A = this chain, B = another copy of it.
Amino acid sequence: MNLNDLIKNIKNKNSFLCIGLDVDLQKIPKHLLELEDPIFTFNKGIIDATHQLAVAYKPNIAFYEAYGTKGWRALEKTINYLNQNHPEIFTIADAKRGDIGNTSSRYAKVFFEDLDFDSVTVTPYMGRDSVEPFLAFENKHTILLTLTSNIGAFDFQTQKINEKELYKIVLETSKSWRNSENLMYVVGATKAEYLKEIRKIVPDSFLLIPGVGAQGGSLVEVCKYGITKDIGLLINSSRGIIYASNGTDFAEAAAIEAEKIQQKMKQILETL
């Protein structure tokens, strides 16, 4: 998907909501466990109920690998279902991969070609040649971990190199990489005040923002510092939406929670 289609969809739906499909068999409704593929059935229910409220879906790959070949198959079915039925949806493989060049190429092929995701999250620690294999794919997007929403972010990401925090060095350095126009960045919403600084370095890039809701970030704060003329934000919510109910009404309950966020987004977009 190219960026213009994503931006158009955000404006059409008055939403920049991304729904995290982090499926845990211990948390989904019990009645689904008797079915042949509970993970896919759950995802399909969530997607059918929320796809008009969200512009992106983000399965975290750990939750699928946790169920071995069955999990991987459920992931394949989920991305195929999205691509076939909702081609306007921006899909994110939250994989946090990164390896030496020829191995990163393998991961890129898995997520961009075989599974046909629009984007994948990548970790920057190994530098340029671990990320550029992902950037080489046209109309595919590489979402680089920059400043994460967990407490461990302060261990290294905010440490200063020549008076400048590592996450800023990552942002600046990444702009010089080949096909850097295919970069987006992960920025944890629990650190909204950092967005001001981040926008000085990447004024236009899309930011994927986890941590609104369960992890405590504020939507209004994030938008205040992070929004651009093309919106430039994807706000992710996972548990607060997909586990709103663990009864047979799980999909409707998810839609109600998604709509609450979408309505707040609509208000924000109307004031721009």
Contacts and interface: CB of A to CB of B under 8 A. Distances in A.
A218 interface: no
A66 interface: yes
12 contacts: A65-B110, A69-B72, A96-B97, A96-B123, A100-B148, A124-B155, A124-B156, A127-B150, A127-B156, A128-B151, A155-B173, A160-B162
A69 B112 CA distance: 16
B153 A127 contact: yes
A106 B66 contact: yes
Contacts of A125: 123-125, 145, 148, 156-157
Interface string A99-110: 111011011011
Q: How many copies of this chain does the complex contain?
A: 2
Contacts of A161: 159-161, 166
A123 B110 contact: no
A63 B106 CA distance: 7
Given A63-B103, A129-B150, A156-B170, 15 more contacts: A60-B103, A66-B107, A68-B76, A69-B72, A69-B73, A100-B148, A100-B149, A101-B150, A123-B123, A123-B125, A125-B125, A125-B157, A128-B152, A159-B169, A161-B161
Contact of A126 (B63, B66, B104, B152): B152
Nearest to A211: B100
Contact of A68 (B63, B72, B128, B130): B72
Interface of A: 22, 60, 62-63, 65-66, 68-69, 72-73, 76, 96-101, 103-104, 106-107, 109-110, 114, 123-131, 145, 148-157, 159-162, 166, 169-170, 173
